[in-house]
Amino acid sequence: MLLFRQQEKIFILLNRPLLLLICSVCFTILLIFYALHAPDSINFTAKNAGYVPSNSSSSLHPPAKEDAKCNLFKGRWIWDEKGPLYTNFSCKTIPDKKNCFLHERMDKDFLHWRWKPDECELPVFDPRSFLSIARGKTMAFIGDSVSRNQMESLLCLLSTEETPKDVYKDAKDRFRTWHFPHYNFTMMSLWSRFLVTSSQTIVNGSVTGGFDVHLDKVDDNWAPKLPVVDYAIFSDAQWFLRQNYLYEGGNLIGCIYCQEPNVTDLGPGFAIQRAFRTAFNYINDCKNCFGILTLLRTISPSQFENGTWKTGGSCVRTSPLAPEEIQDAGGTDMEYRNIQMAEIESARKRGEKIGNRFDVLDVTGAMLMRPDGHPGLHWRNKKKGYSDCVHWCMPGPIDVWNEFLLEVLRRQSHFPLRSR
């Protein structure tokens, strides 16, 4: 018996390191488990530890209340060394007409300005946050080629997160659809000159460059597709600024710039008002469009100097304007913007009673300060000497429209902002 006890003591002494090792491993496992599963209120901190407390700047967090109420669209452009999120090399979908560097634009300072609202900060565009908000949704840009310009900007910004699939293109490349498979997000461009029905004006068998515009009939290019759309972004203006004939109820009621003795010149503002009213009324009357978020993107100014498109006008500036440098308080651009704003507000008041949401991307003021952002002569110009002072270079100041868009969507969805 004594011999057995002596052997047991010898065994324990010989295996004590092994027991200590087993105890140490068990204690370490318990400590790691506790650190990983402890409540957020307990701040486990260790040197080089991967755990980040919930109030860290790298976590998702809601915006401050004052930021949520801040007017995003009143501010100024300030210098930004960082520049854009993409380049004309990294984004493969930039159209030639907006690829200004491809067409020998040499100055680059215009890329280094960011929009600063007076009362808050506008977050840098975060493609992952955008796609997370839009997961499983369909977004339509409805309008003219400037509307398409915004979609192309968004496509480049989102492509830094996921490469989209080109799903559809019509023969004239006016209707496009792109899909982001990982997020099941679909984005489409629906071409419409006036948002309402129109046809080219024919005189003596020849086209005149003007249109017969039926202000009380929505354009079938976009209206039938609305039931599958979650976000509809409406914009139009440039096609109204030419000689057009205006109809309601099938009857001629006036014109724009026609200078005919028996036809009342009602002006672009009247036509813009009626067209947007018809479009927004259609949305509120649509039985299959419940839950859609409708956004107005206000008029984007064309900024020709010393002439017009056809008379040698140009846009050669290389830096932004300050707010106090805008001439005539924005002139007719602000007049048309105010008309659009009145129509979206009227639609919002009606829509909120039936569950429809309306909001605004009020870009006019910001873009009046950016005459430096147009292609000018630096585009795929089939007519030598013509400057494009309507569309926007990519990358360029147009990218802020989609920073506005992300922030409006985030506010509408109450989605937390992902800090970088």
Contact 295, 232 (CB under 8 A): yes
What are 11-20's pLDDT values in tens digits?
Answer: 444 445 544 4
Nearest to 187 by CA among 156, 146, 219: 156
Q: How far apart are alpha carbons 285 and 141 in whole angstroms?
A: 20
Which residues are designated catalytic? 145, 388, 391
Q: Are strands 138-143 and 185-191 parallel, antiparallel or unpaired?
A: parallel
The percent helix, strand, coil of the chain (3-state, each to 5) is: 35, 20, 45
Structure tokens at 55: 């109030």
Distance CA 369, CA 363 (A): 10
Query: For 133-172, what is each residue's pLDDT tens digit?
Result: 999 999 999 999 999 999 999 999 999 999 999 999 999 8
Residue type, 368: L
CB atoms inside a 10 Å sphere around CB 251: 8
What's the token pair of residue 128? Answer: 């992952």
Q: How confident is the model at residue 27 (pLDDT cuts 50, 70, 90)?
A: low
Output the average pLDDT for the chain: 85
Token pair of 387 as six digits: 């400057």
For residue 85, the model assigns a pLDDT of: 96
Written as six digits, the tokens of 155 are: 């496509």
pLDDT tens digits, residue range 343-400?
999 999 999 988 899 999 999 999 999 999 999 999 887 667 789 999 999 999 999 9
Sign of the Cα torsion 181, 182, 184, 186 reads negative
For residue 314, give the nearest of 323, 305, 325 by alpha carbon.
305
Q: What is the pTM of this model?
A: 0.83
Greater pLDDT, 130 or 1: 130
Backbone region of residue 68 per phi and psi (left: phi > 0; alpha: psi in -120 to 50; beta: other values): alpha
Q: 3-class DSSP state for residue 243?
A: coil
Structure confidence by residue, pLDDT tens digits, 244-290: 999 999 999 999 999 899 999 999 999 999 999 999 999 999 998 88
Whole-angstrom CA distances from 388 to 185, 332, 376 are: 32, 19, 5
What is the tens place of the pLDDT at every residue in 51-109?
222 232 323 334 445 566 799 999 999 999 999 999 999 999 999 999 999 999 999 99
Which has the closest alpha carbon to 253: 287, 227, 224, 215? 215
Please compute, for residue 152, the number of CA atoms within 13 A of its CA located in the half-sphere on the CB side: 27
Q: How remote is the C-alpha of 390 from its chain's centroid?
A: 18
β-strand pairing of 165-169 with 176-180? antiparallel
DSSP, collapsed to helix, strand or coil, labels residue 221 as coil
Using left for φ > 0, alpha for ψ between -120 and 50, and beta otherwise, residue 38 falls in beta
Q: How far is CA 183 from the centre of its chain?
A: 17
